[in-house]
A and B are shown apart, each in its own frame.
Chain A
Amino acid sequence: MQLRCILLFSCCLCASPFCGVAGAQGLDPQKLLQQDPTDTWPTYNGDYSGRRFSPLNQVQLANVHALSLAWMFRVRIGGAAMRGVGEPDIKSTPLMVNGILYFTIPDHVFALDARTGLELWHYVWVDKGGHLIGNRGVGMKGNWLYFLAPDGWFISLDAQTGKERWRKKVADEKMQYFTTGAPMVVGNHVIVGVGGDAIDLPGYLEARDPETGELQWRWNSEPRKGEPGSETWPNETAMVHGGGMTWLPGTYDKDLNLLYWGTGNANPVMAGQGRNGADLWTCSIVALNADTGKLAWYFQGSPHDTHDWDNTETPVLFDSQIDGKPRKLLGQASRNGYFFVLDRTNGESIVSKPFVPLNWSKGIDTKGQPIPDKEREPTTDGNLLTIYGGGGTNWMPPSYNPQTGLFYVNAVLGYSLTYLTDTSEHPEGYGGSIRNLWSQHVLEALDHKTGEVKWSHAYTNADASGGGSPGILTTAGGLLFSGDFDGNLIAFNAANGDIVWHFPMLHALGNGPETYLLDERQYVIAGGGDTLYAFALTR
């Protein structure tokens, strides 16, 4: 029914592929504005809110035991290991549009039949640098896909054929920028972020024209000389090399027309002595006008970070009653171990509470921002932190479930030693390193009003060979899908954390699971290592 509507619509209106309306295979722009679409997964997070909650309930607590493998697709890229990272690892969340899945690994884009897993086309990019640490997927508008190659190329592909339409350079890999994000289509903009912190560089976020790829606006992660925020840097040199990368897709509130984006760590990464001050707008959540890139407000999760704790984790948008009043909220489980809930109209703090034990902070200031403890900065002889070196969580997608009111995050408990290796007055690069000690992965369900842990599940893994970066999906079927670090894809009861189903994949879950309805059948899609898995109820 849905398909036919789009066919009719597109036949009437879309004589030219440039008219902005999708063809039969393309993405109806209205889908991007819908919350929780069920027949489409049109963006990295499934919709602009970043909640990764689906109202689908065909698969539910009562029948999830019958959830079975429908098909598998294994990435084949010619056998060679990927430079510097080894085997392919799917970290992207596929888009599903009109029965076709589009997903990526670094340097590669694939289109698959969402019913069968049959490969339709495969686009290959040959990089000249950049990091192959991951790629989060593609963005889509009409019949066009948008992809970031690791070496700073922003590429548009024809969704029907995988043929390149154009490419634009958005970041210089020789300067150690790299690009891993899923471009995010918002109205007549494609939002593109960048990564990189091996050399001290300024971060930025760009809006590009969906038709031409030309720059529309650029927001800089640091203020310019004399601008508000510049007082948080000791000098201009430190400021314009200050980091604050924008490598993970953000979220968007169409009513407020605000983009919400997390910024990465300050540079030099661990040696902070050359950049005394809060170092705005690194390690922050920023709210930007989607049409101009102008900063509306910011909240800094890690002022003067010296621990490599990018604050890029998804800013999840949801509405709730706080003290009896309806509020537009934004929740984030930050890599620094704090759970933040803000009023997304103005950035006012509602909750700032650690979700893992930590000793790097002395509490929070009047704005709800953590106060770093100078005594816990990296030292030449090693500083013992009661938090995992990679932080309390990382980029892997969390989920907010409006039915339970819980914010779900895959957290890490642990300890680490942090070393300062560059003691010069003007350090560069990382200037330090981290040694991890004991750690454990734990799925946590947080009360969005208080940050209290309502339930948690410590994954019972004994095998250190595991890996993965398990994201989370929740559904109206009462389910939470995620995974452990041994390769089990697991369905939990979202209300209490009971395990209700699992499937042993060949590799640990490395992306955010997704779900959609196709031919009135609910599919659950998950990526583990080099393989994409599709599940549905047995018929």
Chain B
Amino acid sequence: MGPATENRNAHQQRASLRTRRTYRRRHRYLAPTLFLTLCLTVVGTARSQAQQTNPNNAQQEDSRAIRTREFLGLGRVPDAKMAAEGSTIFGATCGFCHGADARGASGPDLLRSSVILDDNQGELISATVHNGRPAKGMPAFPSLTEEQLRDIAEYLHLQVELSANRGTYKALNVVTGNAKAGEAYFNGPGQCNTCHAATGDLAHIGSKMNPPELQQTFLYPVAPQRSAPGVTVTFADGRKITGTLKHLDDFYVSLNDAGGDYHSISLQKGIQVQVDDKLLFHRQMLDKYTNQQMHDLTAYLVTLK
């Protein structure tokens, strides 16, 4: 739908805002839910889609994982190479009792074991595997070399990482919808074609973004992808200033006009602020999509290679 606007008068503003969920341009995370902001990790389908379309995504994922690891206080990053070696040894030697993923079978789940969680460089794990725990029915594995024991330890640390560090999580397949139905929705009830065109602004969008990113973005783009909205301030005497919105709160509005000049205006009685919210329609649609429609649209948009 075309640019949506809302006309607000500073004096009436509170009354109109008080009618609830009326007006919004930007998106923001709550500081106390840092948990969540750190774990917004929906990038790329299982190590493939993201990296195919955008080489930077792999790096972004790594840095997200590292940041989250630091926040969680999980210690050093497990060595992927050693863990890969350890995976084979663990599967053959330990998997029967502990499960190939170490989450437990007839033997205990090791991801919650203090032997693993208190271990740093294999010192506790190696000793336990080497000596066994006869009292608990775990045999000793004296034939494993020191190097093999270290590899096993690293594999276990990586398993903890993949479970406990939500910065490593990746979305599984989000392309479950029907592309044809999505196309019909795009050009029909979804009214997407009012503003967007598959061969215009959305050409090759399926190559520019990975599917989870694309799904998020058509629903409501994250802040860096949004441009600052336009704003018009009308004074009591009818004088107007138009420009790009810089700041707006309950007390002040500020903007840069077409010439680049900065204006800061106190929201006194009689001053009207009109913000051009290009995303209003996207926001309104969030109340309308069914999950099926959303997934159909995603399936369609990923075909725009």
Contact = CB atoms under 8 A, between A and B. Distances in A.
Interface stretch (A57-65, A160-168, A208-216, A465-473): A465-473
Contacts of B71: 83-85, 131-133
23 contacts: A84-B72, A134-B32, A174-B117, A174-B118, A176-B72, A199-B112, A381-B298, A382-B42, A390-B32, A419-B171, A428-B112, A434-B40, A436-B36, A438-B282, A458-B23, A459-B249, A460-B17, A461-B28, A463-B26, A463-B248, A486-B247, A508-B31, A510-B31
B97 interface: no
Contacts of B169: 421-422, 430, 432-433
B72 A502 contact: no
Contact of B215 (A83, A382, A423, A426): A382
A174 B112 CA distance: 10
B179 interface: no
B72 A459 contact: no
A380 B42 contact: no
Contact of B249 (A383, A460, A498): A460
Contacts of A413: 20-21
A55 interface: no
A107 interface: no
A131 B32 CA distance: 12
Nearest to A529: B31
A516 B195 CA distance: 56
Contacts of A440: 21, 23-24
Contacts of B125: none
A458 B287 contact: no
Interface in A376-425: 379-384, 386, 388-391, 394-396, 412-413, 415, 417, 419-424
Given A421-B172, A455-B18, 20 more contacts: A89-B31, A176-B72, A178-B73, A308-B35, A308-B36, A382-B174, A382-B215, A390-B33, A390-B36, A417-B219, A421-B169, A422-B163, A433-B169, A437-B286, A439-B28, A458-B18, A460-B250, A461-B28, A462-B247, A502-B251
A130 interface: yes
B278 interface: no
A175 interface: yes
B165 interface: yes
Interface string A297-312: 0000000000010000
A230 B249 CA distance: 50
Contact of A394 (B30, B70, B171, B219): B30
A385 B248 CA distance: 28
A293 to B, nearest CB: 25
Nearest to B108: A237
Interface in B98-113: 101, 103-104, 109, 111-112
B13 interface: yes
B174 A464 contact: no
Interface string B249-286: 11100000000000000000000000100010011001
B117 A175 contact: yes
B165 to A, nearest CB: 7
A173 interface: yes
A222 interface: no
A394 B248 contact: no
Interface of A: 83-85, 89, 91, 127, 129-134, 150-151, 172-176, 178, 198-201, 237, 241, 308, 357, 379-384, 386, 388-391, 394-396, 412-413, 415, 417, 419-424, 426, 428-430, 432-442, 453, 455-464, 466-469, 484-486, 488, 490, 497-499, 502, 504, 508, 510
Contacts of A438: 24, 27, 220, 279, 282-283, 286
B174 A381 contact: yes
Interface in B7-24: 13-14, 17-18, 20-24
Contact of B14 (A178, A488, A499): A499
Contacts of A201: 112
Contacts of B13: 460
Contacts of A459: 249-250
B83 to A, nearest CB: 17
A498 B141 CA distance: 73
Contact of A384 (B23, B25, B28, B294): B294
B11 to A, nearest CB: 11
Contacts of B164: 176, 198-199, 428-429
B89 to A, nearest CB: 22
B39 A200 contact: no
B112 A381 contact: no
Contacts of A199: 111-112, 117, 160, 163-164
B166 interface: yes
A175 B75 CA distance: 12
